[in-house]
Structure 1
Amino acid sequence: MKATYPQFITRALSAILLITSALYAEAQTTLDSSIPVRGFCVAAPKANNVDSFVKFIKEELTTRGVNTLILRVDFNYQYEKHPELRDSIALSKADVKKIVSVCKSNNIRLIPQINLLGHQSWAQTVYALLRVYPQFDETPHVKMPDKYVWPNADGLYCKSYCPLHPEVHGVVFDLVDEICDAFESTAFHAGMDEVFYIGDDKCPRCSGRDKAELFAGEVTTIRNHLAQKGRELWIWGDRLIDGKTTGIGTWEASMNNTYRAVDLIPKDVFICDWHYERPDKTAVYFAMKGLRVATCPWRTPQVATQQVSDMYNFRSTATAAMQPYYQGIIQTHWSGAENFMDGYYGKIKNDQAGNKTAWDTFRAIFPKQSTAGKK
């Protein structure tokens, strides 16, 4: 039976709508300037690679619309107040100013990171803070192994400092203030992910205390210190998610009861919500708690593009009150800037990984633009 004229128009319009919707959905797997935070997180380069990194920022980040750069600095800076905590070959103030300059001229917000609370060691290595100030160790009875394996009898993943030690913040905040001044930053990233050691039963200060309250207390202490100079606190969000109820588990969520801290921390803390193997939609959870959030992929393009699509969907379907909490996407890379640049420019290859790399993911979600599309 032939369609009547109105039916024909209706069907034609429906077909056009379906095609348009499909094209729209495809387009929204990459980032554009409608997303407030379009970020990239990587370890700061070594001193001899600063010029190459500046060139990478100028030629690659700006032309792909990146407007936020989180640099994991830790002890890779020539601290003046605590030179005992410097890496052996660390960035000078002049090195940092080169990075600051290129970011300023291209409207990229630059945010330095020092891992606070957790991640004070890795494998067999104790990092500078606890190596120089062992009295800050939350678990001094846990000795570093000659050969690290996981799992282990001590539950050792990374060491933590004791958040209640009366002298720890005097040292830590010296570093935070100095690095924020050097990077001329309006925000600071404190890390605070994967904190397995907190409120240890053998700690003379923390034993028996509520782990959620301890975690929230440390977040609040850091946030309040930064606020005195008008700076924001950014942290990873995993310790604020209930790993058991969600099924997300030990790494990307908490199994040691810190998750209740989500209701105890200040609402102006910015959450970097990382999920790498599955596009878990916990950004909704943080937004509904009144916290600004960015979703953070790593090295799987299919997962990352879904996360980008989800972020567009969250923003487009949210109420006017909720939309500002959905801030964007920050891609992460967990090796140095040098490693990322080598992969990005094809100097190293991993045939086994295929396209499951941070640089392939970066290209998938940050398309090359004729203009930078920055705000």
Structure 2
Amino acid sequence: AAPSLPNPSKPLPGKATPEAVIPLREGLFWRPYQEDHWGVEDGERVTLPWPSASRRERWVKGLQALLGQPVHLHPPPPRGVPLLVPQPQEVRWGEADLLLEPPPSVLLPEGVDARLVRAAQRFAEKAGAFCGGKLAVEVRRAGEGPLPSPSLRVETLERSLEPVPEEVQAFLRQRGEEAYWLLVRPQGVRLVGASAQGAFWGLQTLAQLLFLGPLEEAGLRGVEIRDWPSLAFRGLHLLADKTGATWHPVLIERVLAPLKMNAIVLEVGDTRWAFRPEIAPDWAIEPEELRRIAEIAREHFIEVIPLLPTLGHCHWMFRTPHLLDLAEDPEQPYAYRVGDERTYAFIESILEEVLALFRPRYVHLGHDEFTHRGRFPYRSAAQGLSVAEWFRRDIERLYGFLKGRGVRMMLWADMLLRPGEANDAAHGGPPANTASVRSSLPRDIVLCDWHYRPAPTYPSVGLLSREGFQVLGCAWFEPLNVEAMARSVAEAGAWGLLQTTWTGYGLNHRALYHHYHQLQAYVLAAEYAWSVGQPPLPLLPYDPGDLLAQCLQEEWLRPHRRSGVCVDLAPLCNVRLQGGPFEAQGVGLRGVPTGEVRLGRWLFHIAEHPQE
């Protein structure tokens, strides 16, 4: 152990700090974000958050003694450049900013998506909090008189107030409907999305450009941004319970939408279903609350995909004794009874409710690890079918049910992978050999390929993609896992990234206190799904846990004004800090600016003459 090296607990929300990038040598490794260790390791170096300058020297000395190598600090980003998360693809900072005093109007073209108008109104409220005024939001007909200057114009390719430059049109069409172009100058703002969704993402970036100057003047940083997502699907897997009625809307409004996530895979087994309400646990969510979550998500251009665990992980069916006759192994109720028609009558009735609530394009039906607990087959063993055949028949039955209603099926992929085809989570080998089913599956099934062990690459994503499946790479909380999975998805040309949450069932708002290391990975997933590989993990200019806390507390994009009075301290001064013994000790103030200046959050008037 390094001498005097503290061993703090898992990271909690705090202040952003510099980082030390430390080379690793053989035999030394760090386990990131666990109970007793901290840091981010990529196989060659580890990045540690440094809490304070007072401890830094002691820690650096200890680590240098341990490693026998120098330790280099990675400085925080330069001042004056706002933090943009996720990092845009192309950014050119301008030399001049747009001041919001007096507050300009926000203009949108007639006929634009109503959700975009409401998003512009929310942006106007946020900007008004910065400038202390009110930004009017106006919907105008194209060509209806001259446009005021300055103004903030929010447009799409199909609906614009003035013609969009041809080269911008070409860029937006090339990059797809989630792309946007943003130009901020002293004369105003022009935001054009390839679609309403693209313009919505542009508004999230525009909000991150708000600033307060040294004299509390409000403005938007001058910039030109051309931006688009690396991955088409950028999703978060969540568990629904009765706290989700308040918790999930907070996540959507404060985290997922600002960070440009466009999908939620919502696990809904623990719902008080109208068909069989008696099987619901105390923490079950109500169906109408699920409907409201889906509506809030749609308002923010986020698609909700319901996940109903089937075949395995069917705890939601057996939390009460009412359905134990449908358990394959009644002594360990985990998988449902595949040889009983009553099972499918029940599942299909629940699915009818799911489809009515969400009106989804996709439904995720689980099917992972179904042989991991209990005996399978047991009650159905007398029918003489193999595990792989029961697996194939179950998928075929539920696929046909969804297909007949115009809905596509999603499945976890672990039982379809053989050992050697993936680094981990390849559960389809002997003795059950369920991976043999893969070749016969319809290619319009979406496979969610989950791997949680950090690795440089995840080859099964490319394997399944080459076989014709639409594939989502699924990561968990390890930072390297998230970054490498996003990169593997991009290299394979797969659909996207699904960030999973496994915090236990029931009252999942407690995850803020007990599983924060999982939640802070949401920020990393948003970052690397939008802009794969950028910035590299060791050079990430923020702490994801800090940023998540700021988002949840609405501190990230909030103006920090302080009310108060100015106090004249001149009559109390009795020591001159310029010249004399203080300056000789290196603490003189000769370099401090004079006049009215703001240092941190405090306003000072500093005399211009040393004798004062």
Give matches, 1:54-203, under 5 Å.
54-74=249-269, 76-121=270-315, 127-128=317-318, 131-140=321-330, 143-144=331-332, 159-196=334-371, 200=376, 202-203=378-379
**Contact kept? 1:118, 1:161, Cα under 8 Å:** yes
Q: What are the Cα deviations for residues 3-36 of structure 1, in whole angstroms up to 9, with x where unaligned? A: xxxxxxxxxxxxxxxxxxxxxxx999xx962311
Give matches, 1:339-354, under 5 Å.
348=513
Question: For the structure 1 residues 342 and 99, does the alpha-carbon distance in structure 2 shift closer, same or farther, using more than 3 Å as the test?
Answer: same
Q: Determine helix, strand or coil for the equivalent of 1:282.
A: helix
**Contact kept? 1:342, 1:348, Cα under 8 Å:** yes
> Does the alignment pair 1:314 with 2:496?
no
Q: In 1, distance between residues paired with 2:376 and 2:359? A: 36
Letter in 2 for 1:273: D
Which of these residues, 209, 212, 230, is aligned with residue 385 of structure 2? 209
**Contact kept? 2:416, 2:426, Cα under 8 Å:** no
Q: Determine helix, strand or coil for the equivalent of 2:513.
A: coil
Question: For the structure 1 residues 341 and 57, does the alpha-carbon distance in structure 2 shift closer, same or farther, using more than 3 Å as the test?
Answer: farther
Task: Give the equivalent residue in structure 1 for 2:522.
Answer: 362
1:222 CA displacement = 0.7
Q: Determine helix, strand or coil for the equivalent of 2:353.
A: helix
Q: In 2, distance between residues paired with 1:275 and 1:211? A: 23
1:183 CA displacement = 2.0
Q: In 1, distance between residues paired with 2:505 and 2:421? A: 33
Q: In 2, distance between residues paired with 1:302 and 1:190? A: 28
Which of these residues, 487, 502, 516, is aligned with residue 334 of structure 1? 502
1:285 CA displacement = 1.6
Letter in 1 for 2:230: S
Question: For the structure 1 residues 360 and 88, does the alpha-carbon distance in structure 2 shift closer, same or farther, using more than 3 Å as the test?
Answer: closer
Letter in 1 for 2:323: Y
Q: What are the Cα deviations for residues 123-143 of structure 1, in whole angstroms up to 9, with x where unaligned? A: xxx843783222222223xx3
Q: In 1, distance between residues paired with 2:340 and 2:450? A: 29
**Contact kept? 1:201, 1:208, Cα under 8 Å:** no
**Contact kept? 1:190, 1:235, Cα under 8 Å:** yes
Task: Give the equivalent residue in structure 2 for 1:290.
Answer: 468
1:85 CA displacement = 2.4
**Contact kept? 1:120, 1:130, Cα under 8 Å:** no
**For the pair shown, which has the larger CA radius of gyration, 1 or 2?**
2
Task: Give the equivalent residue in structure 2 for 1:230.
Answer: 406
Task: Give the equivalent residue in structure 2 for 1:253.
Answer: 427
**Contact kept? 2:281, 2:320, Cα under 8 Å:** no
Question: For the structure 1 residues 131 and 190, does the alpha-carbon distance in structure 2 shift closer, same or farther, using more than 3 Å as the test?
Answer: farther
Question: For the structure 1 residues 360 and 339, does the alpha-carbon distance in structure 2 shift closer, same or farther, using more than 3 Å as the test?
Answer: farther
Q: In 1, distance between residues paired with 2:342 and 2:273? A: 18
> Does the alignment pair 1:42 with 2:210?
no
Question: For the structure 1 residues 312 and 32, does the alpha-carbon distance in structure 2 shift closer, same or farther, using more than 3 Å as the test?
Answer: farther
Q: Which runs of 5+ in 2 are unaligned?
A: 1-86, 90-226, 531-612
Q: Determine helix, strand or coil for the equivalent of 1:335.
A: coil
1:253 CA displacement = 2.4
Task: Give the equivalent residue in structure 2 for 1:299.
Answer: 477
Q: In 1, distance between residues paired with 2:487 and 2:435? A: 27
Q: Determine helix, strand or coil for the equivalent of 1:40.
A: strand
Q: What are the Cα deviations for residues 209-260 of structure 1, in whole angstroms up to 9, with x where unaligned? A: 23222212111111110112111111100000012x44756x5422421111
Question: For the structure 1 residues 349 and 52, does the alpha-carbon distance in structure 2 shift closer, same or farther, using more than 3 Å as the test?
Answer: closer
Q: In 1, distance between residues paired with 2:263 and 2:291? A: 17
**Contact kept? 1:118, 1:195, Cα under 8 Å:** yes
Letter in 2 for 1:173: E
Q: What are the Cα deviations for residues 269-296 of structure 1, in whole angstroms up to 9, with x where unaligned? A: 1101000014432011211221110100
The range that moved more, 224-233 or 329-338, is 329-338
Normalized against structure 2, the TM-score is what? 0.45
1:58 CA displacement = 1.3
Task: Give the equivalent residue in structure 1 for 2:118.
Answer: none
> Does the alignment pair 1:242 with 2:418?
yes
Q: Which runs of 5+ in 1 are unaligned?
A: 1-25, 145-157, 316-325, 370-375
Normalized against structure 1, the TM-score is what? 0.72
Letter in 1 for 2:392: A
The range that moved more, 280-289 or 329-338, is 329-338
Calculate percent identity across the aligned residue pairs: 19
**Contact kept? 1:199, 1:207, Cα under 8 Å:** no
Q: What are the Cα deviations for residues 77-128 of structure 1, in whole angstroms up to 9, with x where unaligned? A: 221122222223432233122212111111211111111001124xxxx843
Q: Which has the higher helix share?
A: 1
Q: In 2, distance between residues paired with 1:331 and 1:127? A: 25
Q: Determine helix, strand or coil for the equivalent of 1:226.
A: helix
**Contact kept? 1:200, 1:207, Cα under 8 Å:** no
**Contact kept? 2:377, 2:387, Cα under 8 Å:** no
Letter in 2 for 1:94: E
Q: In 2, distance between residues paired with 1:228 and 1:67? A: 26
Task: Give the equivalent residue in structure 2 for 1:277.
Answer: 453
Letter in 2 for 1:99: I
Question: For the structure 1 residues 237 and 32, does the alpha-carbon distance in structure 2 shift closer, same or farther, using more than 3 Å as the test?
Answer: farther
**Contact kept? 1:67, 1:107, Cα under 8 Å:** yes
Task: Give the equivalent residue in structure 2 for 1:8.
Answer: none
Q: Determine helix, strand or coil for the equivalent of 1:233.
A: strand
Question: For the structure 1 residues 130 and 83, does the alpha-carbon distance in structure 2 shift closer, same or farther, using more than 3 Å as the test?
Answer: closer
**Contact kept? 2:305, 2:364, Cα under 8 Å:** yes
Question: For the structure 1 residues 172 and 86, does the alpha-carbon distance in structure 2 shift closer, same or farther, using more than 3 Å as the test?
Answer: same
The range that moved more, 297-306 or 194-203, is 194-203
Aligned-residue RMSD, C-alpha: 3.0
